[in-house]
């Protein structure tokens, strides 16, 4: 509440923004710290410019504001100038004592209250009071406060990490997910052992096939893996980071990919396959030792979809192996796992969303499978541009509802 | 009078008007060696025939100690093009720069060679699409890539330590979009004026240089306050004031201790084409977007502030509870007092919105352009912090740099006798 010259237009913009933002809220505390007033507006009142720490519980604060608003109504009807001024000051102080809390938890409601309150406070400080204008404003303010109070009571709409942490069902799902991640870690090591064996054996075709298989577990739990930046860097770096593909520091999956699919040789790849297995074992230890908290687990869906939609969908990630389809599938499978574990909870909160995710998830998987007849994936560069675009569209259609899962569960 | 001539006459009349064209059909001009040079050099004070009082404030001065287009308030449109030399002959390059200088001096005043007599048997002296348009605050800024010095055998003139733009972690540079011998940055309030400038400079360079890459950019046409990038956040909040001479001398302009004397008053320019992953960004929660940037989306204020220009207090937030440690704002300027002040650069970026990519995603992002006095201690120092794998700038997950380059920008041209890059050949 900094400025008093607020145009309705700017509010409408804010409101529509927040309406949009709220459906896709994050899962941590304090969302948009919105200050509805634009910096261009001029300061005309002598309001306090410092953000005040919330000292009052928002519920209590809102209810006492409702009471003050009622008193104001009486004072305005009686045209009691001194009383109106006194109560204006009072309602302003009440709001200041907890507004920050509302701002972070319920940005749209915050804007809704400020819309009337700011103008009211400015009006209530004029030397000449315009009782009828103040009356109208107060009459609009009351329902806004009422709505806020109701929302606070029901606890809806607020982004609340605590509710994620405190839900027994989600705690249980998180434990399940930790098991899944560990199983993928084991599979990762097994896959890399098999890959080393094939490469040492010198059969190029088998090595190539095993390279692709060894990608799956890694890609299914990418959000977890990325937490170990250094290992991720040695295991999954792309050639773009180096001056050339022959750079000694270029290690990991994609170095092997280069050997197997570009140079078409296994001999030079042996030492890199050994190194990758070593790193894979370290990675397994790291993920076995870590604590996965519910937020990390739930928000993983967004990260996995991001993976699939950014560098993979253009084919650049698997540029030599052309194995984009199975690798994208692994990302989607990782997201599917998280969704499966949370479905029942999501259904309670938003059945329509659950249904939409389910439908679009099936569509993506079917699309990938259609492009992989008899379980053999079509090399990505052999898909037509229309098919590539179609896959991207289906991934997007899944991502858009899926990223709403964390915010919905956090309510 | 042939039919063709009368038709030209008719066309001439059709576009007569503001610029008052004279089509001299029967006049044979002397040789056109210099391409499309206006034979009369423009001096800073010479009034131009196309000038009227209304358009006067639409002009940015060309002559000066520094090149225009650096501390010039950002115009609305950008066309930035890199050229590669086709020749190793210094004299040819020298002549090209002289020609370009004259053309730029003329174009920035909005004067067109179309209002002089022309030879009907040759292509027009100018392509003409800007006739009738205002100069639109056109500025042209020229820089040289490290490869130019090598090609011309002028390594002795090259500033120490100046080389090609390195590959930073997570870059995905495409060779055809990267580096170049010469860069030409055209900025104006009219995209056609930018295009026209580059197009005619390119015609003049025929046989001496060719275009290597070209990008266009734009900012909102009437932004209130700091313009926003396509992530929807204000971009440039922390830029210095353009009239802050002390900052420019400390952080932007080269002095005798930085570079060879011929570059004093110049600067180093970084160009990066940063693709934004628009679709995945738009799937992020409001909170994650703000945490990624480290500012509030609507106001542009830091996470712990109220107004855009409030200074964040990182010292009391050592664990990144308020502003995450891996947020863009925190890594790009950690606000470590003196050290961070020395690192600061002058940014002058534009948005690009170029249709869809091969899989149907929006091909959009930021044409990042910045000027600084020392690549190592300023731009690279910041960029290495942003791309450090141990604590990656979260913004890197939604961006990918595909092109650009490093260029050294020579000082400005003081009067009509000089030309851009003169010191290179003396």
Q: What is the pLDDT of residues A25-84, one digit of tens each?
A: 333 333 333 333 333 333 333 333 344 444 678 888 999 999 999 999 999 999 999 999
Q: Torsion angle of alpha carbons A405, A392, A387, A385, nearest 10°?
A: 180
Q: Is the pLDDT reported for residue A404 higher than 70?
A: yes
Mean pLDDT of chain B: 87
What pLDDT shows up at residue A411? 56
Q: Is the pLDDT reported for residue A18 higher than 80?
A: no
Residues B287, A230: C-beta atoms closer than 8 Å: no
- Rounded-to-integer distance, Cα A230 and Cα A234, Å: 7
What pLDDT shows up at residue A111? 74
Task: Kindly report the nearest CA distance between residue B48 and chain A, in angstroms.
Answer: 39
Q: What is the pLDDT of residues A285-330, one digit of tens each?
A: 999 999 998 888 998 999 999 999 988 999 999 999 999 999 999 9
Q: Give a three-class secondary structure readout of A173-233.
A: HHHHHHHHHHHHHHHHHHHHHHHHHHHHHCCHHHHHHHHHHHHHHHHHCHHHHCCCHHHHH
> Could you give the 3-state DSSP secondary structure of residue A171?
helix
What pLDDT shows up at residue A15? 38
- The larger pLDDT score, comparing residue B210 to residue A114, is at B210
Mean pLDDT of chain A: 84
In which residue are the tokens 């990182």 written? B314
Q: Torsion angle of alpha carbons A371, A372, A374, A375, nearest 10°?
A: -160
Among B92, B108, B122, B19, smallest CA distance to B56 is for B108
- Rounded-to-integer distance, Cα B204 and Cα B103, Å: 9
B284 reaches A (C-beta below 8 A): yes
pLDDT band, residue B114 (cuts 50/70/90): confident
Residue in A closest to B225 by C-alpha = A40
DSSP state at residue A53: P
Q: Give a three-class secondary structure readout of chain B.
A: CCHHHHHHHHHHHHHCCCCCCCCCCCCCCCCCCCCCCCCCCCCCCCCCCCCCCCCHHHCCCCCCCCCCCCCCCCCCEEEEEEEEECCCCHHHHHHHHHHHHHHHHHHCCCCCHHHCCCCCCCCCCCCCCCCCCCCCCCEEEEEECHHHHHHCCCHHHCCCCCCCCCCCCCCCCCHHHECCCEEEEEEECCHHHHHHHHHHHHHHCCCCEEEEEEEEEECCCCCCCCCECCCCCECCCCCCCCCCHHHHHHHCCCCCCCCCHHHCCCEEEEEEEEEECHHHHHCCCHHHHHHHHCECCCCCCECCCCCCCCCCCCHHHCCCCCCCCCCHHHHHCCCCCHHHHHHCCEECCEEEEEEECCCCCEEEEEEEEEEECCCCCCHHHHHHHHCCHHHCCHHHHHEEEEEEEEEEECCCCCCCCCCCCHHHCC
| Mean predicted confidence (pLDDT) in B276-300 | 94
Q: Is the pLDDT reported for residue A19 higher than 80?
A: no
Residues A32, B290: C-beta atoms closer than 8 Å: yes
Residues B284, A316: C-beta atoms closer than 8 Å: no
What is the pTM (predicted TM-score) of this model?
Answer: 0.74
Q: Is the pLDDT reported for residue A280 higher than 60?
A: yes
Which of B163, B168, B222, B280 is the best substitution to test chain A (most A C-beta atoms within 10 A)? B280
| Mean predicted confidence (pLDDT) in A355-379 | 95
What pLDDT shows up at residue B396? 95
- Rounded-to-integer distance, Cα A123 and Cα B266, Å: 55
B303 reaches A (C-beta below 8 A): yes
Residues A306, B280: C-beta atoms closer than 8 Å: yes
What pLDDT shows up at residue A55? 65
A316 reaches B (C-beta below 8 A): yes
pLDDT band, residue A338 (cuts 50/70/90): very high
| Mean predicted confidence (pLDDT) in A109-123 | 83
| Mean predicted confidence (pLDDT) in A124-140 | 88
Q: Is the pLDDT reported for residue A407 higher than 80?
A: yes
- Rounded-to-integer distance, Cα B73 and Cα A377, Å: 54
Q: What is the pLDDT of residues B223-259, one digit of tens each?
A: 678 889 999 999 989 999 999 999 999 999 999 999 9
Among A392, A273, A403, A236, smallest CA distance to A325 is for A392
Residues A392, B170: C-beta atoms closer than 8 Å: no
Task: Kindly report the nearest CA distance between residue B280 and chain A, in angstroms.
Answer: 6
Q: Which chain A residues are Cβ-neighbours of B297 within 8 angstroms?
A: 32
Q: Is the pLDDT reported for residue A127 higher than 60?
A: yes
A53 reaches B (C-beta below 8 A): no
Buried residues in B220-234 as b, exposed as e (16+ CB within 10 A): eeeeeebbbbbbebb
pLDDT band, residue A103 (cuts 50/70/90): confident
- A97 in Cβ contact with A54 (< 8 Å): yes
What pLDDT shows up at residue A13? 39
Q: For chain B, how many residues are written?
A: 426
What pLDDT shows up at residue A268? 95
Q: Is the pLDDT reported for residue A97 higher than 80?
A: yes
Q: Is the pLDDT reported for residue B54 higher than 70?
A: no
Q: What is the pLDDT of residues A227-252, one digit of tens each?
A: 898 899 999 999 999 989 999 999 99
Q: What is the pLDDT of residues A197-236, one digit of tens each?
A: 999 999 999 999 999 999 999 999 999 998 898 899 999 9
What pLDDT shows up at residue A46? 38
Q: Is the pLDDT reported for residue A172 higher than 90?
A: yes
What pLDDT shows up at residue A31? 35
Q: Is the pLDDT reported for residue A16 higher than 70?
A: no
Q: Which two tokens stand for residue B250?
A: 């400390």
Report how far Cα A128 is from the mean position of its chain's Cα atoms.
50
| Mean predicted confidence (pLDDT) in B180-202 | 97
Highest mean pLDDT among A145-159, A259-273, B123-137: A259-273
| Mean predicted confidence (pLDDT) in A259-268 | 97
What pLDDT shows up at residue A141? 92
Q: What is the pLDDT of residues B338-385, one digit of tens each?
A: 989 999 999 999 999 999 999 999 999 999 999 999 999 999 999 999
DSSP state at residue A266: S
Residues B286, A28: C-beta atoms closer than 8 Å: no
Helix orientation angle between A168-201 and A270-289, rounded to the nearest 10 degrees: 160
Residues A314, B358: C-beta atoms closer than 8 Å: yes
- The larger pLDDT score, comparing residue B426 to residue A161, is at B426
Pick the range with the lowest mean pLDDT from B2-6, B69-73, B396-400. Answer: B2-6
What pLDDT shows up at residue A295? 86
pLDDT band, residue B121 (cuts 50/70/90): confident
Q: Is the pLDDT reported for residue A104 higher than 70?
A: no
């Amino acid at each position: 509440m900094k400025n008093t010259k607020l145009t309705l237009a700017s509010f409408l913009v804010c409101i529509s923004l927040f309406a949009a933002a709220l459906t896709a809220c994050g899962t941590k505390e304090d969302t948009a710290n919105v200050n509805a007033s634009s910096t261009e507006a001029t300061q005309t009142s002598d309001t306090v410019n410092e953000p005040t720490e919330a000292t009052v519980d928002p519920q209590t604060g809102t209810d006492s504001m409702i009471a003050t608003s009622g008193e104001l109504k009486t004072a305005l009807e009686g045209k009691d100038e001194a009383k109106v001024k006194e109560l204006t000051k009072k309602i302003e102080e009440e709001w200041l004592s907890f507004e920050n809390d509302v701002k972070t938890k319920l940005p749209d409601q915050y804007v809704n209250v400020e819309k009337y309150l700011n103008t009211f406070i400015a009006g209530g400080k004029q030397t000449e009071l315009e009782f009828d204008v103040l009356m109208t404003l107060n009459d609009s303010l009351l329902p806004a406060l009422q709505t806020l109070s109701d929302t606070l009571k029901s606890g809806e709409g607020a982004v609340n990490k605590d509710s994620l942490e405190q839900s027994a069902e989600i705690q249980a799902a998180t434990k399940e997910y930790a098991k899944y991640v560990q199983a993928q870690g084991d599979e990762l090591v097994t896959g890399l052992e098999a890959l080393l064996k094939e490469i040492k054996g010198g059969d190029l075709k088998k090595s190539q096939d095993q390279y692709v298989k060894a990608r799956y577990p890694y890609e299914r739990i990418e959000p977890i893996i990325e937490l170990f930046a250094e290992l991720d860097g040695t295991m999954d770096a792309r050639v773009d980071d180096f001056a050339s593909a022959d750079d000694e520091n270029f290690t990991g999956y994609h170095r092997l990919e280069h050997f197997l699919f570009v140079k078409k040789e296994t001999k030079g790849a042996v030492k890199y396959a050994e190194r990758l297995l070593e790193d894979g074992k370290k990675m397994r230890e790291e993920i076995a030792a870590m604590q996965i908290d519910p937020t990390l687990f739930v928000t993983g869906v967004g990260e996995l979809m991001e993976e699939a939609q950014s560098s993979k969908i253009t084919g650049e990630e698997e540029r030599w192996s052309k194995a984009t389809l199975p690798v994208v599938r692994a990302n989607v499978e990782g997201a599917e796992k998280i969704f499966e574990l949370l479905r029942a909870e999501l259904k309670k909160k938003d059945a329509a969303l659950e249904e939409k995710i389910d439908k679009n998830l099936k569509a993506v998987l079917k699309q990938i499978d259609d492009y992989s007849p008899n379980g053999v994936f079509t090399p990505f560069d052999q898909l037509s541009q229309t098919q590539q675009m179609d896959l991207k569209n289906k991934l997007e259609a899944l991502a858009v509802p899926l990223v709403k899962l964390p915010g919905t569960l956090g309510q | 009078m042939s039919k063709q001539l009368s038709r030209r006459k008719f066309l001439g009349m059709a576009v007569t008007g503001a610029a008052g064209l004279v089509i001299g059909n029967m006049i044979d001009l002397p040789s056109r060696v210099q391409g499309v040079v206006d034979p009369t050099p423009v001096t800073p004070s010479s009034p131009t025939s196309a000038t009227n009082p209304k358009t006067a404030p639409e002009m940015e001065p060309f002559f000066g100690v520094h090149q225009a287009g650096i501390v010039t308030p950002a115009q609305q449109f950008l066309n930035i093009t890199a050229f590669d030399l086709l020749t190793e002959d210094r004299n040819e390059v020298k002549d090209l720069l002289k020609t370009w200088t004259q053309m730029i001096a003329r174009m920035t005043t909005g004067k067109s060679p179309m209002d002089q007599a022309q030879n009907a048997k040759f292509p027009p002296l100018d392509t003409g699409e800007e006739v009738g348009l205002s100069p639109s605050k056109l500025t042209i800024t020229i820089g040289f890539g490290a490869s130019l010095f090598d090609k011309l055998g002028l390594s002795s003139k090259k500033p120490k330590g100046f080389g090609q733009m390195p590959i930073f972690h997570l870059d995905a540079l495409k060779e055809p979009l990267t580096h170049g011998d010469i860069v030409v940055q055209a900025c104006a309030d009219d995209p056609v004026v930018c295009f026209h400038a580059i197009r005619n400079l390119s015609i003049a360079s025929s046989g001496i240089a060719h275009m290597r890459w070209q990008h266009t950019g734009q900012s909102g046409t009437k932004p209130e306050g700091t313009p926003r990038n396509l992530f929807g956040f204000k971009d440039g909040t922390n830029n210095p004031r353009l009239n802050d001479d002390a900052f420019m001398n400390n952080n932007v302009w080269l002095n005798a201790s930085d570079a060879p004397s011929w570059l004093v008053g110049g600067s180093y320019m970084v160009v990066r084409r940063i693709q934004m992953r628009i679709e995945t960004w738009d799937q992020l929660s409001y909170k994650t977007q703000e945490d990624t940037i480290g500012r509030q989306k609507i106001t542009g204020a830091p996470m712990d502030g109220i107004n855009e220009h409030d200074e964040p207090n990182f010292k009391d937030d050592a664990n990144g509870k308020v502003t995450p440690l891996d947020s863009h704002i925190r890594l790009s300027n950690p606000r470590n007092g003196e050290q961070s002040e020395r690192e600061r650069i002058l940014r002058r970026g534009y948005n690009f919105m170029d249709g869809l990519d091969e899989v149907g995603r929006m091909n959009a992002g930021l044409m990042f352009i910045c000027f600084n006095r020392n690549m190592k201690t300023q731009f690279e120092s910041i960029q290495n912090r942003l791309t450090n794998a141990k604590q990656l700038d979260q913004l890197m997950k939604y961006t990918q740099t595909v092109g650009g380059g490093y260029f050294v920008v020579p000082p400005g041209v003081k009067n009509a006798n000089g030309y851009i890059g003169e010191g290179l050949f003396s």
